[in-house]
Chain A
Amino acid sequence: MKAKKRTGTIIYHIFVCGFGLLMLYPLFWMFMSSFKETNTIFTTARSLIPDPFTAENYANGWEGFAGVSFATFFKNSLFVSILGPIGTLASSACVAFGFARCQFRGKKILFAAMLASMMLPGQILMVPQYLWYEKLGWVGSFAPLIVPFCFAIQGFFVYLMMNFIQGIPRELDEAAKIDGCSYYGIFGRIILPLMSPALITGAIFSFMWRWDDFMSALLYIDDPNKYPVSLALKLFCDPGSSSDYGAMFAMATLSIIPIVLIFIFFQKYLADGIATSGLKG
């Protein structure tokens, strides 16, 4: 009986582990291919081990396109994915506090508007927003990639933080109020420090979404000096490009490293965020 159970456990692990490796195989393959000589990648596609091992692809890829190197692309991506999340977090925290702790006229309607904006996918606004930003003279600059996000328009973050604030005991607010604290003091001195886990979760998601964002970069950025990494990677696939697949895989690998690092170090926060986004009915 015990032996049978043991075989069962071993089969379970072999199956689950094998399937996991299959899931990750495409990523391994890209990573290993980035160290192969570029003309051997597809002739040796079956083997994962680069022979000979070379880092040349990284040097070639880093040079970028038409004199603009990947250093510029990474710098642009970082710029957008740091400023955007800061604005998102600051504005969403305020709005979340307003929804969670204040009573005012029109709150219900406003809350419904927020839920509706959560259901509305960004792609549907692609054309309308473009026409509007065109009028504002923002096309060609980083503004469309940063400014809208400073106004709490992504309901996910408001919702995430609101849930968290509702879990903080109201007695803390009341005590502070008796001590003469205004609402702004309660927010700044009590709620904000206590909600740091929600802020970290929010920061991680916001950063990842801004980093991966391709559509708005495609729409609004036309100067290669302002390209973020996601848009620069697309140049490797454009017809007429030199199709240096080694360099392409090398830069693609580099582009996902920040996300993978976040994944390794902040897994718990990621799981929290996903639970908020999917569990509520």
Chain B
Amino acid sequence: MRVRAIIKRIVQQFLRDKRSIALMMVAPLLVMTLLWLVLDLEQYDPAIAVTDVPVQMQDLLEEQDATVEEMSSAEAEEALQDKTVDAHLIWDQDQVKLTLEGSDPTASSAVQQVLNQASKQMNPNTLNMEVNFLHGSTDLNLFDNIGPVLIGFFVFFFVFIIGGVSFLRERTQGTLERILATPLRRWEIVIGYLSGFGIFIILQSIIIATFSIYVLDIYMEGAFWSVLVITFLLAIAALSLATLLSAFAKNEFQMFQFIPVVIVPQVFFSGIFHIESVGWLEAIGKIMPLTYGADALKEIMIRGQELSAVLVDVWVLIGFSLAFILLNILALKQHRKL
């Protein structure tokens, strides 16, 4: 079995290359952890300067975890300028005036939220709502929300780098041409490559998903194995894309030039930002594999869907991979017609 010979060789090579194993297996965990530290923080507690605000209101604000400081208008203006407070609230007879520092949207919305809550309690007659969640909960924070996208992205990114560079190296060191001087068929080379790396990809998917869900405690409503299926499909798409693109790179440096062109834009279109309102932006997202992987992961992890509910995503990912594989087999024709 010639395909098996290629698989065996790739495994042998990869096991000798400890650093690449680390890059593929450990680096995504490190980056996920850092993002978790940054995104999983408790909500921001604003500092508000107040002038002539009734004590009752001040107490209510403090109940909402805001830091309240009594000062004159002039002092408050200076404090806003120095960014020591996020907002200035003035109670001028009947008129209430709020000045926001405004350069940080997180702080601004935190101030407004605190004021909303406080005024609701000042005036209990306003609409009293009971809020229920169909999916998620009040605890669903930014990390939980974009976590599925990040899992997809890091799987894609690290597989792309390692798969692309190692296939490229076959070209630059001449071994690709050398094995094309054997009776190996072009498809055997491509399939052997994908399968050899496939073993490590499965491992990587398991490690990243396990770590995110069980260690970082990312919000997870669906089935673990469904997540694995999607990350694996995404990784195969990344690997087949990377091996295909390596045909158009002369060296490692040129391979890395594909990252800002091919990889980074996928993040913007894969569900971290809301782009539904702009049709043509959404259309760009439609041609990117990560869009489908991230969508499926979100459905499974946040909304608790089964794989059967994300079949479209699954098929599109498989379609991408098949297309890249076929193109790659064709691209090898530049080395040997047959």
* Bound pair (A, B): no
